[in-house]
Amino acid sequence: MDRYYLPEIFTHTMDGVDLKTHIVATYYMKDRLEGEKFIEHFSLIQALALEGSTGTWEKVEEDTAEVRIKLSGKLVGYFEIPTAEPFTKEAVVQLAFPTDAWIDNVPMMLLSIAGNCFAYSEKMRLLDVYFPPNLLKNFKGPKFGVPGLRELTGVKDRPLSLHIIKPKMGMTPEQVAHQVYQTAIGGVDMCKDDEMTSDVYNSTYLDRIKAVNPMLEKAEKQTGKRVIYFCSITHEPSELVKRARKAVAEGARGLLICYSAGLPALREVAEDPKVNVPILLHASHMIAAQPRIAWPVFGKLCRICGADMMLTPTYWSSIPMVSMEEGLRTAHVKLAPLGHIRQTFPMPCAGVYPGLAPILVGEYGPDIVIPAGGGMLGHPDGYTAGARSWQQAISAAMSGADIIEFAKKPENRELRRAIEKWGVIDRPKTPWLRVAPEFHPHKMTFED
Helix 357-364 to helix 383-399 angle (10° resolution) is: 50
How far is residue 170's CA from residue 166's CA, in Å, rounded to a whole number? 9
Phi-psi region of 72 (alpha: psi -120 to 50; beta: other; left: phi over 0): beta
SS3 406: helix
Q: How far apart are CA 290 and CA 285, in angstroms?
A: 9
Q: In residues, how long is the chain?
A: 448
Residue pair 281/266 in contact by the 8 Å Cβ criterion: yes
Catalytic residue list contains 166: yes
| Contact between 234 and 266 (Cβ < 8 Å) | no
* List 59, 123, 274, 285, catalytic entry: 285
* Residue 282 annotated in active site: no
- The answer to whether 377 touches 343, Cβ cutoff 8 Å, is no
Closest C-alpha to 269, from 305, 298, 297, 299: 305
Sign of CA dihedral 236, 241, 244, 250: negative
Strand runs (DSSP E) across 259-360, as ranges? 279-282, 309-313, 345-349
Q: What type of residue is 65?
A: A
Q: For residue 282, what are the β-bridge partners? A: 258
Question: What is the CA angle 392-232-281, rounded to 5?
Answer: 70
Give Cα separations from 22 to 93, 101, 129, 233, 399 (angstroms): 15, 10, 11, 35, 45
Angle between helical axes of 413-422 and 383-399 (0-180°, round to 10): 100
CA atoms within 13 A on the CB side of 127: 13
Distance CA 171, CA 151 (A): 31
Q: Give the span between the Cα atoms of 118 and 45, in whole angstroms.
A: 11
For residue 112, give every residue at least 6 positions away whose Cβ sits within 8 Å of its Cβ, in sequence order, or none. Answer: 23, 25, 52, 53, 73, 97, 101, 102
Catalytic annotation, pick one of 166, 218, 246, 421 = 166
Q: What is the DSSP letter of 287?
A: H
Catalytically annotated residues: 166, 285
